[in-house]
Amino acid sequence: MIGKKISKTASVLTLVLVFLGVAAFPTMAKEWNQYLNGPQHRSYINITGLQNEPELKWQYEITGEPGNPVIADDGTVYVSSARNYYGEENAAAKNISDLHLYAFDKNGTLKFDKVLLTMTSNTDVFLSAAPFKLSIGNNGAIFAVSYDPNNRKGYIYSFDASGHINWEKTYDNISLSGEPVIGTNNTIYVTAGTNMIYAFNGNNGTEYWNTDIGGGYLYGCTLSNDETVLYAGNEWGTVKAIDAANGNIIWSNNHMHTDKTPVVAHDGSLLIANHYYNLLCMLNPATGLMLSPAELKQGAGLGGEPAVNQNNQAIALEWKDGKVSCYNIPNGQQNWTVSDIGTPYRSPIVDANSNIYFGAQSNIYALNAAGQLLWQKSIIPNNDGYRYMASNMIMNQSGSIYFAACDSYNGKNYFVCYGAGGVNPPVESVEAPVFSPAGGTYAAPQQVSISSATSGATIRYTTDGTEPSDNSIIYTVPIQVGHSLTIKAKASKIGMNDSITTSASFSINIPVDPDAIVLANHWISGAAFDFTKGKAFSFWEGNPEQYSDDLEIVGNPAAVMLRGNLIDMGSTTLEQLITPPASGYEGEIPAVSGHAYWAKVGDNYYKFVITNIDLTTDANGNVTSMTFKYQKYSAVPEVKAPELKLAEITTKGDLSLIFDQVMANPSGTHNQFAVEVDGSKVPVTTVENTNTPTKIKLVLQNKVIGARKVSIKYTRGEAAGEQIKSLDGRIVDSFIETWEEWTGPGSKSSYQPWTIKFSLDVDPSSVNDNNIYILDKTGIKLAASLSIPDNKTVTLTPKTPYTSGESYILYISKSVRSAVGVRAYLKENIHMKITAVPGSAAELGCII
Kindly state whether residue 598 falls inside one of the protein's structural domains. yes
Q: What percent of the chain has pLDDT over 90?
A: 48
pLDDT at 157 over 90: yes
My answer on whether 408 and 435 are in the same domain is no
My answer on whether 268 and 138 are in the same domain is yes
pLDDT at 276 over 50: yes
Answering whether pTM is above 0.75, one says: no
Which residue(s) pair with 746 in the sheet? 834
pLDDT at 368 over 80: yes
My answer on whether 490 and 364 are in the same domain is no
Kindly state whether residue 149 falls inside one of the protein's structural domains. yes
Which of 271, 273, 224, 274 is closest to 250 using CA atoms? 224
CB burial of residue 495 (10 Å; 0-12, 13-18, 19+)? exposed
| Full residue range of the structural domain in which residue 682 is found | 644-733
Kindly state whether residue 284 falls inside one of the protein's structural domains. yes
**Higher-confidence residue: 5 or 237?**
237
Residues 6+ apart with CB under 8 A from 635: none
The whole-number pLDDT of residue 837 equals 65
My answer on whether 479 and 532 are in the same domain is no
My answer on whether 255 and 358 are in the same domain is yes
Domain count of the fold of the chain: 5
Task: Read off the pLDDT band of 422 (50, 70, 90).
Answer: low
Distance CA 201, CA 185 (A): 9
Where residue 472 sits, what CATH number does that domain have? Answer: 2.60.40
Distance CA 663, CA 656 (A): 13
Kindly state whether residue 183 falls inside one of the protein's structural domains. yes
My answer on whether 461 and 322 are in the same domain is no
My answer on whether 602 and 685 are in the same domain is no
State the amino acid at position 504 in one-letter form: A
Cα 734 to chain centroid, rounded: 47
Domain final residue, candidates 572, 605, 633: 633
Domain final residue, candidates 715, 733, 751: 733
Kindly state whether residue 436 falls inside one of the protein's structural domains. yes
**Higher-confidence residue: 272 or 681?**
681
My answer on whether 361 and 234 are in the same domain is yes
Residues 6+ apart with CB under 8 A from 826: 812, 813, 814, 815, 816, 817, 848
Distance CA 335, CA 746 (A): 48
My answer on whether 260 and 391 are in the same domain is yes
Which of 261, 286, 82 is closest to 180 using CA atoms? 261
The mean of the pLDDT values for the chain is 85
pLDDT at 482 over 80: yes
Which residue(s) pair with 488 in the sheet? 462, 503
My answer on whether 788 and 771 are in the same domain is yes
Kindly compute the dihedral angle of the four CA atoms of residues 37, 39, 43, 45, in this order, to the nearest 10 degrees: -60
Distance CA 563, CA 299 (A): 68
State mean pLDDT over 457-482.
Answer: 89
State mean pLDDT over 518-544.
Answer: 90
Reduced to 3 states, what is the DSSP secondary structure of residue 145? strand
My answer on whether 712 and 757 are in the same domain is no
DSSP 541: G
Domain final residue, candidates 633, 668, 702: 633
Where residue 812 sits, what CATH number does that domain have? Answer: 2.60.40.1220
